[in-house]
Amino acid sequence: MFAFIIRRALQAIGVLLAVGIISFAMFRFAGDPVNQIVSLDTPAAEREQVRRSLGLDDPVPVQFLRYLTSAAQGNFGVSYQFRQPVSDLLAERMPATLELAFCATVFATGFGVLMGVYSGLKRDSFLAKVFQTVSLIGISLPTFLIGILLIYLFSVTLGWLPSYGRGDTVRLGWWTTGLLTLSGLKALIMPSITLGLFQMTLIMRIVRAEMLEVLRTDYIKFARARGLTTRAIHFGHALKNTLVPVITIVGLQFGSVIAFAIITETVFQWPGMGLLFVQAVQNVDIPIMAAYLMLVALIFVAINLAVDILYTIVDPRLRTTIRQPA
């Protein structure tokens, strides 16, 4: 168990280090850190002085180490656009993105599993075919078009839901949440659907395929031969086995959801990290881009690690093979 987790943790650190190099290269070479301190029309001599004071003439490995150390302490430099520490900007926007990603994942998992189980059990039914068609469209339509379509329908035409922003938020310590107010919840609906739709179709397809696979296994045949009820077989035995890979997918996709939030946040002007990132790309605000990359990578590996641990809890085979070394 321990060895397994440690091996995974080492891999995670490897990934983080690789991303760190890219992030540093962007920070140092694509952007000019001097621009964080001075404005563009500062004379060359003064820029040179700032350059030296920032240690930019040190050897590159030294600079890299310094970058990593400060990044580990949450210091990612200063945004060109906002003249504020990048870490403050990101911290301020993080709750919005995480809440959106969480709601989108709940939506995607709930509906995806339901639709997948249904179309796995009733493969040839009309509704299953409808689900298949919807999933093809869900994969073909670009996210932003889905968002715009929803806005046109529910904001412009029907006027039921707000088309942008988070609504009213409540402050809990440093965290702001939209989950506690009616307008906050209403504002979450369309962005969550837009963001979750792709994941929903993905989960649905996987659950359906897994369900079909599991229903063909010997233990399901044996369960039927023991005269268990169809309900017990489908929703006890088959579903539990189906959900094992789904946990992985949902977990791994959570990272993608956060990254895809870039598009959704832009469509709905959602004040999250994604919107901040897009503005940074538009305005070539390198420190924010570099920090965002590092942050997303961190979230990714953290989730991967969590999924690995969760996996060992759900699947007893894995748990004991790890506990009792062969």
By beta-carbon proximity to other proteins, the closer residue of 175 and 269 is: 269
Question: CA angle, corner 196, sides to 195 and 200, nearest 5?
Answer: 150
By beta-carbon proximity to other proteins, the closer residue of 49 and 220 is: 220
Work out the widest C-alpha separation in the chain, in whole angstroms.
87
Which of the residues 40 through 99 are near other proteins (CB under 8 A)?
A: none
By beta-carbon proximity to other proteins, the closer residue of 6 and 18 is: 18
50 CB burial (10 A radius; 0-12, 13-18, 19+): middle
By beta-carbon proximity to other proteins, the closer residue of 176 and 263 is: 263
CA distances from 163 to 37, 141, 192, 229, 280 (A): 37, 19, 13, 48, 23
By beta-carbon proximity to other proteins, the closer residue of 149 and 309 is: 149
By beta-carbon proximity to other proteins, the closer residue of 26 and 181 is: 26
CA distances from 267 to 85, 181, 194 (A): 26, 22, 10
* Those residues with Cβ within 8 angstroms of residue 51's Cβ, 6 or more apart along the chain or in another chain: 34, 57
Residue found under tokens 């003439």:
57
Examine residue 281 and tell whether it contacts other proteins (CB under 8 A): yes
Residue ranges of the alpha helices (H) in 86-181? 86-121, 126-140, 143-150
One residue of 20, 237, 276, 294 binding other proteins per CB under 8 A: 237
Interface mask toward other proteins for 125-144; x: CB under 8 A? -----------xx-xxxxxx
Q: What is the CA radius of gyration of the chain?
A: 24
Which of the residues 142 through 161 are near other proteins (CB under 8 A)?
A: 142-145, 148-149, 151-152, 156
One residue of 8, 134, 224, 298 binding other proteins per CB under 8 A: 224
One residue of 3, 45, 158, 225 binding other proteins per CB under 8 A: 225
By beta-carbon proximity to other proteins, the closer residue of 122 and 240 is: 240
Examine residue 293 and tell whether it contacts other proteins (CB under 8 A): yes
Examine residue 325 and tell whether it contacts other proteins (CB under 8 A): no
The helix-helix angle for 143-150 and 182-215 (nearest 10°) equals: 130
One residue of 127, 232, 309, 313 binding other proteins per CB under 8 A: 232
Q: Are 295 and 90 in contact (CB under 8 A)?
A: yes
Stretch that binds other proteins, among 50-58, 81-89, 174-182, 231-239 (CB under 8 A): 231-239
One residue of 251, 266, 271, 276 binding other proteins per CB under 8 A: 266
Q: Are 20 and 68 in contact (CB under 8 A)?
A: yes
Examine residue 236 and tell whether it contacts other proteins (CB under 8 A): yes
One residue of 76, 111, 118, 260 binding other proteins per CB under 8 A: 260
Q: What is the DSSP string of 177-213?
A: ESTTSHHHHHHHHHHHHHHHHHHHHHHHHHHHHHHHH
Q: Are 168 and 181 in contact (CB under 8 A)?
A: yes
Shortest distance (Å) from residue 237 CB to other proteins: 5
Examine residue 19 and tell whether it contacts other proteins (CB under 8 A): yes
User: How far is Cα 47 from Cα 41, in angstroms, rounded to an integer?
Assistant: 10
Q: Where on the chain is the footprint of other proteins (CB under 8 A)?
A: 14-15, 18-19, 26, 30-31, 136-137, 139-145, 148-149, 151-152, 156, 163, 217-219, 221-230, 232, 236-237, 240-241, 244, 255-256, 259-260, 262-263, 266, 277-278, 280-282, 284, 286, 289, 293, 296-297, 300, 304, 314-317, 320-321
